[in-house]
Amino acid sequence: MGNTLFIVWRESIEAMLVIGILHGWLSARPDARDGLPWLWGGVAGGLVLAGALAVTLMGIQAWASDTALEWFQALMPLVASVLIFQMVWWTQRHGAGLKRELESGMAVAAERANWMGMAVLAAVAVGREGAETVVFLYGAVGNESWADFLIGGAGGFLLALAVYWLLSRSGRFISWRNFFRITQALLLLLGGALLVDAAERLVGLEALTALADPLWDSSALLDDGSRAGGVAAAFIGYRALPSGMAYALLLGYWLLAVTLLFSSRAGKKP
């Protein structure tokens, strides 16, 4: 439930930020308010796209053979990990100009009265966040029950509404910039945990060599089957009996993350 809550919370806030920028721009310009229904239509379209992806993934799970399903469930955490890494890297490089880019696209659409283009812009923005949420959830929730999944999803969305409202009203305690830095760090931790999960599954399928199996045995200190160990496994990729391959990939993941993210920040002009 914890992974579901965090993913829905983080992605919902990002979608709310995008919608808030677009809605604020339209509301502030009397000549562009005709685009408001198209904006909400685009938001609905983006949600439909994300829902279609979710149905497709569930359909694959229902129709695939046992062997194909094992491969699919091994590859999805890997895909989710790569997408998380790409999203954090993209945000580091382009996040500061997001508002300007969105408003520029809205201005062009309003000038040409191209409300369909505005709806497509909103649909793509919301659909991207929704699609990421679906992939992240499929890769991260594992064997969660439907009850835990629904409670975590609803809780994450409600928490996102509350946090968005607080951040929109006052930046006294934490700014949007600092908020996203903190959540990006948490996302990278989750991405590393997903990479470990994918690596262990692929080792089990003999697609990757184990290198060392196990690399160590820390089950006497913290068993990843326990409640505390399960939380550590879900968020930081902890394993009491890890394979050498899983942790070699995790080390490479963090070396790449630190290198790219620090170089991205260093390359920015003040």
pLDDT tens-digit readout, 3-20? 778 788 878 887 888 788
Query: Which range scores top for mean pLDDT: 95-109, 160-174, 203-217?
Result: 203-217
DSSP states of 107-164 = HHHHHTT-HHHHHHHHHHHHHHHHHHHHHHHHHH-TT--HHHHHHHHHHHHHHHHHHH
- Give the domain range for residue 52: 2-266
- 202 band by pLDDT with thresholds 50, 70 and 90: very high
Kindly tell me if the per-residue pLDDT of 248 is higher than 90: yes
Give the model's pLDDT for residue 269.
47
Give the model's pLDDT for residue 201.
92
- 270 band by pLDDT with thresholds 50, 70 and 90: very low
- 239 band by pLDDT with thresholds 50, 70 and 90: very high
- 159 band by pLDDT with thresholds 50, 70 and 90: confident
pTM for this one? 0.74
Q: What is the 3-state secondary structure (H, E, C) of the chain?
A: CHHHHHHHHHHHHHHHHHHHHHHHHHHCCHHHHHHHHHHHHHHHHHHHHHHHHHHHHHHHHHHCCHHHHHHHHHHHHHHHHHHHHHHHHHHHHHHHHHHHHHHHHHHHHHHCCCHHHHHHHHHHHHHHHHHHHHHHHHHHCCCCCHHHHHHHHHHHHHHHHHHHHHHHHCCCCCCHHHHHHHHHHHHHHHHHHHHHHHHHHHHHCCCCCCCCCCCCCCCCCCCCCCHHHHHHHHHHCCCCCCCHHHHHHHHHHHHHHHHHHHHHHHCCCC
Least confident window among 8-17, 26-35, 123-132, 206-215? 26-35
Do 260 and 91 contact (CB within 8 A), yes or no?
A: no
Least confident window among 110-119, 199-208, 244-253? 110-119
What is the number of domains present in the chain?
1
User: Quick one: how far is CA 143 from the chain centroid?
Assistant: 19
